[in-house]
Each structure stands twice: as C-alpha cells, then as structure tokens.
Chains A and B, each alone.
Chain A
Amino acid sequence: MTKIDIVNKISEQAGLQKPEAELAVETIISLVKETLGSGDSVILRRFGSFQVRQKKERVGRNPKTGEEANITARKVVRFKAGKYFKAAVNT
C-alpha cells in the first residue's frame, strides 16, 4: 500500500474529492514530521505514538567489511504501536 491507496480510502470513506483527500494525507504527514522535528511527540490512541529519542555516540561496525566506525550522537524517531494495532497484526 502506498500514499495513493490511503488517499483513495479517505476520498471514498469521507466523501472528499481526490485533491482534498490528498491534501489531508499530506497535512497529516507534515504535522507528524514538524511536531517530531520540534522535539515533541505525536500520540494517536489505538494506533501508536511517535517520539524522538536521543542516541549516544557509539562504536559500530560495518557489517560488510567488519571495520569499526564511530556512530555519532543523533536523534531518531521511535514509533511505538498501540495495543489495538499490536493485537490487529496478531490475529
């Protein structure tokens, strides 16, 4: 499934024209990105939450060559699936 499929679903189920449904999807995605970009979390009940995690610098290894390399400190996105979502993939 890609973005177009989600746009189609919103168009059908919410009765929106395609361009409007597409704007809705783009807006939802942008809001999640902007919120996490400012360091805040997005919490959508049942679905899950997106949070920013601070990772410390560490020594990693290139899995191909086995060479050691420094992995710099960074911020990463963590998605934690909600109970309902977790249950849905296990049935």
Chain B
Amino acid sequence: MTKSDMAEKLAAKLNITKQQAEGIINIFTNSIIESLAKGDKVEIRGFGSFRVRHRSAKEGRNPKTGEKVFVPPKKVPFFKTGKEFRLIVDGKEVAADGSDDKE
C-alpha cells in the first residue's frame, strides 16, 4: 500500500477529496517526524510507539577494502509494535480488553 492507495481509502471513509486525504496523511507523518526530531516520543495505543534510539560511535570496516573507518554516533528512529498490532500480524486472537497494551 502506498500513500496514494491510503489516500483513496481515507478519502472514501471521510467523504473528502484524495488531495485532502493526502494532506492529512502528510500532517500525520510530519507530526511524528517533528516530535522525534525534538527528542520527544510518540505513543499510539494499540498501534505502537516511535522513539529515538542512540547508536554510539564505533570502529567499522569498509567491507570492500577491509580498511578501518570511524563510524560517528547517530540517532535512529525506532518503532516498537503495540500489542494489538503485533497479534494481528502474527495471526493470533486479540484480547478483548487489550488491558496490557502498554506501548
């Protein structure tokens, strides 16, 4: 599913144009990006959470030449799947109460 496919479905559901739906999807993704860029995290119950993971500096190797290279520390966006979502994907039944969905 691409953004275009998603926009079509969202447009049908909300009775809006596809362009408006694309705009809404962009606001959705941009708000997550902006939040993580500020160092904040995003938690959506039943879906999952987005947070920044820190990777420390390390000595790497160029796989082609075998030369040692310094890999600087960096931050990477990380998504932790929420319980309900995890169960849907694994084809298991979803607990009716969803009480232990802490993500």
Contact = CB atoms under 8 A, between A and B. Distances in A.
Contacts, number: 130
Contact of B40 (A1, A35, A75): A1
Nearest to A3: B44
A1 B41 contact: yes
B75 A46 contact: no
Contacts of B45: 2-3
Interface in A20-77: 20-21, 23-25, 27-29, 31-37, 40-48, 50, 52, 74-77
B62 interface: no
Interface of B: 1-3, 6, 9-10, 13-14, 20, 23-25, 27-29, 31-37, 40-48, 52, 74-79, 81, 84-86, 88-91
